[in-house]
Amino acid sequence: MTLEVKKFDTLLVANRGEIACRVMRTARAMGLRTVAVYSDADANARHVREADEAVRLGPAAARESYLNIEAVIEAARRTGAGAIHPGYGFLSENGPFVEALEKAGITFVGPPASAIAAMGDKSAAKARMSHAGVPLVPGYHGDDQDDALLKSEADKIGYPVLLKASAGGGGKGMRVVESGDGFQAALDGCRRESQAAFGDQRMLIEKYLTQPRHVEVQVFCDRHGNGVYLFERDCSVQRRHQKVLEEAPAPGMSAELRREMGEAAVRAAREIGYVGAGTVEFLLDADGSFYFMEMNTRLQVEHPVTEMITGQDLVEWQLRVAMGERLPLAQDELTITGHSFEARLYAEDPEQDFLPATGTLTRFALDLEGAGLDADKVRLDSGVESGDVVSMHYDPMLAKLIVHGDDRDQALATLNRALAALDVQGVVTNRAFLQRLATHPAFKGCELDTRFIEKHEESLFAPRELTTEAYAAAALIGLKQLSRECESDSPWDRHDGFRINAPHTIRLALCATGHDLTRAQAPDAEGVVIVEGTRETDADPWQLVIGDETLTARLQHLEGDAVAVTLDGHRRRLQARLGENGVVVMADPSGETRLFWRRIDAIDHGQHEAESTLTAPMHGTVVALLVKPGQKVEKGMPLMVMEAMKMEHTMVAPADGHVESFHFAAGDTVSQGDVLLEFAAEE
């Protein structure tokens, strides 16, 4: 069935968070009424507050709300929405959804279902691209999904290989396999992720290039046969195949290579009868060769950098094409001006293997004026505001910080100043990690490839040199927390080191990485700072021993996360807050450090507990139990898999031994800190 193209005056945005707010911004500027949809978890979310109307879809689970096709279409009918913009993720590349909209007489702001189907099956897409003369990476894209055959094909291609979900995208169901020994475990994990994210377990295998760059081309096509490319973006800096920093144009691109890649991208789009905004992703090898990876049949997360260098609003282009209009500009009318970067701000903890973080944003602000930044050069696309709650149910991205400069160096300097001016409190984020990336000498020198973070892991995660005041603030917050937990009317009920006729003394170990605290008392424990706190009564100041310094210390809480630390009468102000696993300290504008603390005096039972239990590192859902109670396991062996914010996390054995019992089953929801299992270490 072909849908008759027609104008519309009301747009429903079938998404949430940052992209929903961004689409509605352009829609309002075009004079359109906007409709938001939401789950129970998002009833008070920013995109709901900003829309003209909002309709509840269902419970928090995406499959019962944002992925519920019938509920989304009914919301459009109830509000008179003539068109639906899917954003990215959720239903944005769902062919049956597009077909359902066609039957309902509602315009889909995106490509036809046939184009989505052509690129949604990555194996079939490779064949179409080969027919269109688009270069391909060597690999296996067949229908036979037998485990032994897939392993055999991987062996033929040669390791390392990349396993990818055939129906996937966004890094879901994708893993690098370094050798044949790890193939089956990686295949099982990819299939689980792919099934959960896309309802499809089919895999394809590609040769994994060791030093490629990820360069993608923005294409646009209308219903009148016109197609253009709006140049390229470099997205090489990635973590777990998810982009972290993007820039446009790609550094080091010659005019000839830009034209070749652009024309190949347009050929790819025309091959499948594409309409609207799409992105053709390539791997660019060091010798200048490039290979087709996939096509995302939607608006990309990183589209703002293209908007910055071209001066075009890509969402406006989408809406106009959906109304049947021709592309606003021809290829020879498009030009590149300056350079742009985008940094993705996530609610996650880089110091804990990027575990997703949840909580309430006590403050979320970007002070451009205070940082001396030009509002025309800095853009913050956000789906949250101060006071909003970050839940476990959806992707952890909070916002995108986009900057523009006359050249790459100027844009990079603006990015660093803007990151420093971004004030996020209440939830752990990757802001400081983004600063370390953006100031890294290799990144500044354009030494880019898709393993950038892996190659520079040691320097990117090097412990920050903290001041005595920072350690004192973290220790005082920890001591205060311990004292609060141990409050009692009777000294006999206290378990905080209280002794009759003796000073109250507690010893803490502080470290920037939690796992190092298990060896806190070892003489060679690197990066661990021991702090001893003593005071006569609760009203007295603490006497802190930090290294070889003994200091009289007081801590005063100011507004927000600001604190004042007074050491021997010298008062200093800094940012510090108690988190679920430690203290986050910001002693200077350049970044923050998460300090984990553990009590190491005589009454500490933490090590025994760590050996006998395993706790959930974040809120999430149990996906699979990988061993049986009583089964003997070795240290580091996977025990169970959790999923949070669309990513899997594997819990491993802390030592040789066996699991005595699991407290949760597959499908159960757990909270951060819940005891997942009882573990018995081998004696």
CB contact at 8 A, 449 and 211: yes
Output the CA torsion sign for 295, 299, 304, 308. positive
Read out DSSP for 60-113? SSGGGTTT-HHHHHHHHHHHT-SEEE--SSTTTT-HHHHHHHHHHT-EESS--H
CB contact at 8 A, 237 and 228: no
**Strand intervals (E) in 119-165:** 139-140, 161-165
What count of Cα atoms within 13 Å lies in the side-chain half-sphere of residue 536? 3
Percent composition of the chain: helix, strand, coil (DSSP 3-state, to 5):
30, 30, 40
Exactly one of 16, 191, 213, 298 is catalytic; name it.
Answer: 298
The pair of structure tokens assigned to 463 is: 């412990």
- Gap between the Cα atoms of 297 and 280, Å rounded: 9
Q: Kind and range of the H or E element at 640?
A: strand 638-644
Q: What does the H/E/C string look like for 506-535?
A: EEEEEECCHHHHHHCCCCCCCCCEEEEEEE
The pair of structure tokens assigned to 410 is: 């100027």
Q: Largest Cα–Cα distance in the chain?
A: 89
Output the CA torsion sign for 366, 369, 375, 378. negative
Residue 519 falls in the annotated catalytic set: no
Neighbours of 225 (CB within 10 A): 8
Give exposure, 40-61, as e/b (b: 16+ Cβ within 10 Å): ebbeebbbbebbebbbebbebb
- Gap between the Cα atoms of 417 and 434, Å rounded: 12
Closest CA to 415 of 429, 427, 400: 400
- Burial (CB < 10 A; 0-12, 13-18, 19+), residue 158, is exposed
Q: Any idea which residues carry the catalytic annotation? A: 298
